Amino acid sequence: MNWAQITVTASHDASEAVANYLFEMDAFGIEMKDATDSTTSLIAYYPMDDRLNTRVGKLRNFLSKLPTWGLPSHPAKIDLKRVESKDWTEAWKSSFAPQRIGKRLLIAPTWSDIAPDETEILIRLDPGMAFGTGYHPTTRLSLELLEQTIEPDQNVADIGTGSGILAIAAVKLGAKYVDAVELDPTAIPVAETNFAINDATEKISLYQGDGIKTVQGKYHLIVGNILTKVILPIIPHCPSRLHLEGNVIFSGILESELKQVQEVLSENGLRCIDVTHEAEEGVMWVALRAQLASPYCESARFLG
């Protein structure tokens, strides 16, 4: 697959709004760099497919509306460049070094010879074009909450598994089994490979589909490192899919979206327990853990 590299040059004041919009259009990844003393370059990647022209058109329209929100539209401009899959992958590999997350997790690429110490849990990844290396704040936040929350022999659903990193971490942290769901067909073989690399295949069932409705299990924990627009329609289905006092962990939430997510959780009998934040290149990301509130548990058991 070939990819389009879209570079947007915008004022510092408008850069966060532009970054948020690029993510809303399902950017695979975003890099922010100071172009000048007053401008920021935002570099985003999208598949080179039949939706690219539509995305660019929507982006131009969004930039033209910046003054409506009190943000300068000058000198906003868009540059488009085709990137060969091989070139992007090799450049990315050169920057993917082992890293430690939480108290015990060690994430390393398959080509690294790093060895964990006796207290560490090693996860080896070859993410290919799938999301989830541990380098993005949303993945780190997800892993930290997962490590803090999961208990031995629990059943887990991983919605939007991507590279499979959360499903693998769940297994290595003691999960009995994991149902992993992924919508993007290009991510499926990547996840399958990573499950095999980490000897986790027997405990993970992988499904291609859209959201929690793809699987039929009952879970102690539901995790999703996905965008808010994907999280919100999933939340109403979670209570009936959780065991009593089960938990959900959601990441990929922008700080400006947190209140809305919390309100929808509360409306569906899920009480927010933990909220964590991490900023990267001017964007504040949020992850949270919510628990099925006790008064709601009895009725939740009978929902479809």
pLDDT in tens, 195-214: 999 999 999 999 999 999 99
Q: What is the pLDDT of residues 17-27, one digit of tens each?
A: 888 788 778 77
**Looking at 73-87, 138-152, 282-296, which range is the least confident one?**
73-87
φ, ψ dihedrals at 249, nearest 5° = -125, 120
Residue 93's pLDDT band (cuts 50, 70, 90): low
More confident residue, 224 or 21: 224
Residue 304 burial (CB < 10 Å; 0-12/13-18/19+)? exposed
φ, ψ dihedrals at 113, nearest 5° = -100, 15
Residue 188: pLDDT over 60: yes
Residue 281's pLDDT is 66
179: closest CA among 143, 206, 147? 206
Q: Which long-range contacts (CB under 8 A, 24 or more apart) does 269-275 make?
A: 269/239, 269/293, 269/295, 269/296, 269/300, 270/235, 270/238, 270/239, 270/296, 273/247, 274/145, 274/148
Residue 301: pLDDT over 50: no
Residue 128's pLDDT is 58
Residue 132's pLDDT is 57
Which H or E run includes 233? helix 228-234
Whether omega for the bond prior to residue 152 falls within 30 degrees of 0, making it cis, is no
Residue 49's pLDDT band (cuts 50, 70, 90): confident
Do the domains at 3-90 and 134-300 have one common CATH topology? no
CATH topology of domain 3-90: Alpha-Beta Plaits (3.30.70)
Domain boundaries, the chain: 3-90, 134-300
Q: What is the arithmetic mean of pLDDT over 168-185?
A: 95
Architecture of domain 134-300: 3-Layer(aba) Sandwich (3.40)
**Highest mean pLDDT: which of 39-43, 94-98, 236-240?**
236-240
Mean pLDDT, the chain, integer: 86
Residue 14's pLDDT is 82
Quick one: how far is CA 68 from the chain centroid?
30
Entry pTM: 0.75
Residue 192's pLDDT band (cuts 50, 70, 90): very high
231: closest CA among 287, 167, 162, 187? 287
